[in-house]
Structure 1
Amino acid sequence: MEKLPRKLRQKLSARLVNDALRSLSSVEGLVDFSSNDYLGFARNQDLSKEISNFLTIKPQKSGATGSRLLSGNHSLYVELENFLKKHHKSESALVFNSGYDANVGFFSSVPQRGDIVLYDELVHASIRDGIQMGHAKSYKFAHNNIGDLRRHIERSRNVEGESEIYVVTESVFSMDGDSPDLQALANFCSDNGCHLIVDEAHATGIFGEGRDLTCQLGLEEQVFARIITFGKALGCHGAAVLGSEALKNYLVNFARSLMYTTALPPHTIANLLVSYQYLKDVGSEKCQQLQQNIDYFKQQVEELGIAAIYIKSDSAIQCAIISGNSKVKSISAQLQLEGFDVRPILSPTVKEGKERLRFCLHAFNTQEEISRVLNTLKNEFQ
């Protein structure tokens, strides 16, 4: 077998020198402070039984058998998309295989040559990748800074004239856990004729009575498109773009990540239908448990005197800044030895000097677990 080309070896070597080389790992038997399973749906045995019952009542093929434009658009897709558009208060919903596919498909096809995409500097890599695949010009604006966004719009309009302007943000940012002032941002975009796109990945199922932050704030009519995902609070897989019926029709015709890939299998769509029903039944209780854990975590951080290292966040994502790949990896390894699955986030995923421990909180975490992991972390700094 041919050896890895020299340039690729050099890139791997650079990662190794910077202690940033990644590898696949499987950690089992530890207290979960790492996964995106915020409400515990992925581990819920009652939910698993309900999915099995659903498939018994409505038997399905094992595979999708093709792309959605060919043989893969089975009847459960129609059922799910009809549910999603009603539940999330949207004119339409279009399901993709993942949040990554949804963002790549949307941003590579919707903004056109001559248009401008202005994106928050901390948006997810899938958004950036989609933008790079498209033909529009793009510029980042300072994190959650409407003033900087305004300057970019004024500068762009002075140069570009009649270009369409798309503004992109997240309702909960995946690496900092904070949120924009979405009401102010929506009003700003409406006043300035911009199309607002909100990635709701870490808010789906958590806010707005099991919907998203846009719904909670009543901004559905001011948002051009929302991307919701099912691999976090729903404990499943896949994503959807919410927007107008015209937008859905456009994406079906031009979003290559939808057109040229095998569709999700029927059992995945069945899982989503059952999970959403379960969310409607017990979601408020689970979200309340999650919020209590978030409040308790933040209280303990203050009482232990370690608030200075934490990024301010009201979400399930709580991050402790520990500069340096080697240092944050070392502390993460010690926490794992003590029985806690807490993962390090390394540069270049985040800026150098902003490496961090990322704590993901869940409805099923106990206060005793939260206290122990934070006390263990504090001891690492003494």
Structure 2
Amino acid sequence: MADPPADALEASMRFNLSKRAAKSSLRALTLSPPTSTDFSSNDFLSLSSSPTLHASFLTNLTSAPPRLGSGGSRLLDGNSSYAETLESDIASFHGAEAGCLFNAGFDANAGFFACVPQPGDIIVYDAAIHASVHEGMRLSRAGARLPFRHNDVDDLQLVLEGILTRDELVKAGRRSVFIAVESLYSMDGDLAPLTGIVAAVERLLPRGNGKIVVDEAHSTGLYACSAHVGASIPPPRSPARPLITTLAPPLANPATLS
């Protein structure tokens, strides 16, 4: 008996899969041998294979209350002392007043830029900023979204100067400008000129309405204090300078906003 004809959706999916196969771009899940050398994961600090961390986790697990799982969202009845302690520890590490955990770095960026900029505010972003920031900007109520050339402080200054000539509310400090950058860009591995960015923003927006948002997804814990974002952005960094850092790269866990 012949197979029934595929419906429109199945036929479309099969056609697209065949196109991928023809271009050798058909993806499949794989398992890495435990003895292999890791050149591709987000576990930059090798914490997932740390015997010390493993032992500490088991000790905490055996001494913790027997409940497994949150039981619901944190806003309802799923909050825990572990989450609050982690937020506090991460905020302390970054010299911030508070931290807020997200499921992932993508969610943190998308959620922040979708919700925090208010109507009339402006988002200025590095041309190489991550797709998660673009997703947040797409949902944002901000009045304008303006790029500047990648890691180009001079071009950032030109963009900010243009805003000041057009928007009296920004000039008066009554509207905010959010400047979105990454401390370490994952595609090319180049570092943002944070000192120059901070100097330009503070000079052109002296009323404190320039909010530099630094995505540390690929640099948390990788550099000594002399190269860490904390050295380039003097305190107070919060709330004037929000910091989005993930524990996925390099720590292989959720994200936090501090």
Using structure 2 for the length normalisation, give the TM-score: 0.82
Identity %: 31
- The 5 A counterparts of 1:255-270 are none
Gaps of 5+ in 1: 243-382
Residues in 2 aligned to 1:99 and 1:214: alpha-carbon distance in whole angstroms: 17
Residues in 2 aligned to 1:81 and 1:60: alpha-carbon distance in whole angstroms: 22
Match of 2:105 among 79, 99, 106: 99
- The 5 A counterparts of 1:152-231 are 152-162=159-169, 163-193=175-205, 194-208=210-224, 213-217=228-232, 219-222=234-237, 224-231=241-248
- The 5 A counterparts of 1:52-67 are 52-67=58-73
Note if contact 2:216-2:245 (Cα within 8 Å) is conserved in structure 1: yes
Residues in 2 aligned to 1:212 and 1:66: alpha-carbon distance in whole angstroms: 39
Q: CA deviation at 1:17?
A: 9.3
| Larger helix fraction of residues | 1
Structure 1 moving runs of 4+ over 3 Å: 5-10, 12-22
Match of 1:49 among 55, 60, 73: 55
Q: CA deviation at 1:14?
A: 11
Residues in 2 aligned to 1:187 and 1:217: alpha-carbon distance in whole angstroms: 10
Distance 1:113 1:6, change over 3 A: farther
Match of 1:79 among 65, 82, 85: 85
Residues in 1 aligned to 2:67 and 2:93: alpha-carbon distance in whole angstroms: 27
SS of residue in 2 equivalent to 1:197: strand
Note if contact 1:208-1:216 (Cα within 8 Å) is conserved in structure 2: no
Note if contact 1:204-1:212 (Cα within 8 Å) is conserved in structure 2: no
RMSD across aligned positions (CA): 2.7
**Match in the other structure for 2:147:** 140
Note if contact 1:203-1:212 (Cα within 8 Å) is conserved in structure 2: no
Distance 1:221 1:117, change over 3 A: same
Note if contact 1:81-1:93 (Cα within 8 Å) is conserved in structure 2: yes
Residues in 1 aligned to 2:19 and 2:179: alpha-carbon distance in whole angstroms: 33
SS of residue in 2 equivalent to 1:221: coil
Superposed CA deviations along residues 117-163 of structure 1, whole A, max 9, x for unmatched, are 11111111111111111121212111001111122222223333324
Gaps of 5+ in 2: 1-5, 170-174
Note if contact 1:204-1:229 (Cα within 8 Å) is conserved in structure 2: yes
Residues in 1 aligned to 2:24 and 2:121: alpha-carbon distance in whole angstroms: 36
Q: CA deviation at 1:23?
A: 2.2
